Structure 1
Amino acid sequence: MTSFSLQSPRLFIRPLAKDDLAAFSQYRADPAVARYQSWQDYQLADAEELLADLQSRTFGTLGHWYQLAVLDLQGQLLGDLALHLVDNMEAEVGFTLDPSHQGQGYATEALGALLAYLFTERRLRRVLAVVDCRNQPSSRVLERCGFTKDACHKDAVFFKGQWCSEYHYSLTAGAWRQRQP
């Protein structure tokens, strides 16, 4: 992955790096963190495999997911952002925070910095997010960032042994710009 970074008042965001992997795999191994995510029983080897895959391509290549480390300004890993550049007009995002750093506004701040990049630098038209309907904290983060709930797909996904419902969110460039001071 090529050099890429963002900074917000309290955070530094950059591609996931080897030094992040121990902390990254530790919080991802937490069952409460993995509950609404695509993984379970996350191990250091999973993180190493992900990093090797990420390092095999240039950041910003369309059609791929990228994991971005979210760090405080002292360099401590707080969580990560997921970015999927669907095409030149649209992206999908996600976020995961270490439980010890949740509830402090970090996810909202990190996602806000990523949205600013996507709408100003990449000039995207729309950003999407999909959230398990039971994951109310993630829904609140998206709504604080200006996303609107476009749909609820009831019992649409068989996930971790049960049928689950999902909210589909979106934020357009125009709506994002209207929210900027």
Structure 2
Amino acid sequence: MIVQSVASAVPARSRRFRTATVAALVLALGPALAGCATDPSPTAPPPAGAPDQAGPTTGGPAAGGEEVDDCSLLTEAEITDVIGRAGTGVAGADGCVWENRETGHSVTLFVGRPGTAPQGVLPPPDPVLGEPEPGPDGIRFVIDEAEFADGDRICRLRVVTSVVDDRDRDTMVRLAGLVRDRL
């Protein structure tokens, strides 16, 4: 009964106006307040698995200060040898991707920013991805990728020609050696 008397005491037009005003304020202030929730300081750790975790995929300075273009680190012939007809690599948030659209086979190479593998040591693996398997030459295999350090940068390489076994690992090791020689 009290609810009815309070509701009837406030005109319906006034209630609609307040509701519309509150909705407009939430829409206007929501994005601004959401921005306040993140810590922009460089010392805050990035969220696990964030694409920017290891930096831009192309154009970042190399150990000597020069720019790195992930797509230039492997030749078209080397990629074609692995996945067949591929064309040129396409730079994106996850590195450079070469894909054979006819077969679905692909190679992806990501080179992180300087400092992402300090003193050539890979950062601790993300526990969500499971325990990495050690490989040769300081390479570790995490799910379907080879992770390795070159200088103070983390590098990730994925070769997909088989999804039923780990036969792509030897190819990843070979290509990782080529990338290390060229960085």
The TM-score range, normalised by the shorter chain, is under 0.3
More strand by share: 1
- Name the TM-score, length of structure 1 as normaliser: 0.26
Structure in which a larger fraction of residues adopt helix: 2
Larger radius of gyration: 2
Q: Give the TM-score of the pair, scaled to structure 2.
A: 0.26
